Amino acid sequence: MNDKVIVITGASGGIGAALAELAAGRGARVVLLARRERELGEVAARCGPEALPVVADATRREDVSRALVSALARFDRIDVWVNNAGRGITRLVSELADEDFDEMMLVNVKSALYGMQAVLPHFKERGRGHVINVSSMLGRMPLAVARSAYSAAKHALNALTANLRMELRPAYPGIYVSSVHPGVVATSFGVNARHGGADSRRIPGAQTAEEVAEVIAGVIEHPRADVYTRPGAQQMVVAYYAAEDMGLAEQQAPFFSPVAPR
């Protein structure tokens, strides 16, 4: 990761902050995007003098474009763009309002789309680059029904990620596109969910943000298309989709768990 220029959205806390500090500690130059100026500045300070904090709202295309310009003005290139900004929700499908669903798609899908579309011309010009979209186990399996619209948004993000990867492969084999799927992460994600929610930091067995950041760092160093942050998670997904009757599979553990993954 030494000397790579890495842009990270949602960098003022949680996974984004942990990844920023880890990458900077390994010699990367990091560009940090988030709305919270004070918290973003604190993360940047921990990353060292070369870190570039950009106060920006990833759900605004013009903010993302401005961040791209700032990154290129400072470092003259971008090697990796990590779309990490996101927010959860606590609402069953039967309870969802238009505003609930629209926000989930804006924060979890369109923010990543804006990032991908902003950096792609630069990557194409260079013939190389790496987009990493931070998804979720809930983008693969309905493990927490109260996260319904978040789950739907992450499914959509997974589809965009895979389609972009296939779009680019013939003409731009040097541009990698990856999805990373955490489970429950011990951050403020739960309490910051739309309509509130359980504190993810109090859920037994939650991964630390640093553990997830380590997995993402591994993807940066050794690009792969689709990565899970927990041992056995991929096998669980495969078993679910291979089930003869997915409805019957959903009546067994882990679907009975009240846990709401990241």
What integer pLDDT is reported at residue 198 of this predicted model? 82
Distance CA(113)–CA(36), nearest Å, equals 21
What integer pLDDT is reported at residue 259 of this predicted model? 47
Catalytic positions: 150
Say if residues 104 and 149 touch (Cβ distance below 8 Å).
yes
The answer on pLDDT for 260 being more than 60 is no
Say if residues 227 and 221 touch (Cβ distance below 8 Å).
no
What integer pLDDT is reported at residue 256 of this predicted model? 59
Phi–psi pair at 239, nearest 5 degrees? -65, -40
User: Which percentage of the chain shows pLDDT scores above 90?
Assistant: 88
What integer pLDDT is reported at residue 261 of this predicted model? 47
| Fold entry, domain 5-249 | Rossmann fold (3.40.50)
The answer on pLDDT for 218 being more than 60 is yes
DSSP state of 11: T
pLDDT tens string 63-74: 999 999 999 999
In the predicted model, what is the mean pLDDT of the chain? Answer: 95
The answer on pLDDT for 212 being more than 80 is yes
The answer on pLDDT for 249 being more than 90 is yes
Domain spans of the chain?
A: 5-249
Q: Give the mean pLDDT of 29-37.
A: 97
Determine whether 218 is exposed, middle or buried from the number of CB atoms within 10 Å of its CB (0-12, 13-18, 19+): middle
Q: Helical H runs in the chain? A: 14-25, 37-47, 61-75, 98-105, 111-126, 148-168, 209-221, 233-242, 246-249
Residue 201: pLDDT band with limits 50, 70, 90: confident
Closest by CA position to 198, among listed 124, 95, 90: 90
Element counts in the chain: helices (H) and strands (E):
9, 7
Closest by CA position to 215, among listed 179, 252, 188: 179
Tokens of 3: 């000397």
Say if residues 113 and 37 touch (Cβ distance below 8 Å).
no
Q: Give the mean pLDDT of 139-143.
A: 97
pLDDT tens string 80-92: 999 999 999 999 9
Tokens of 106: 């804006």
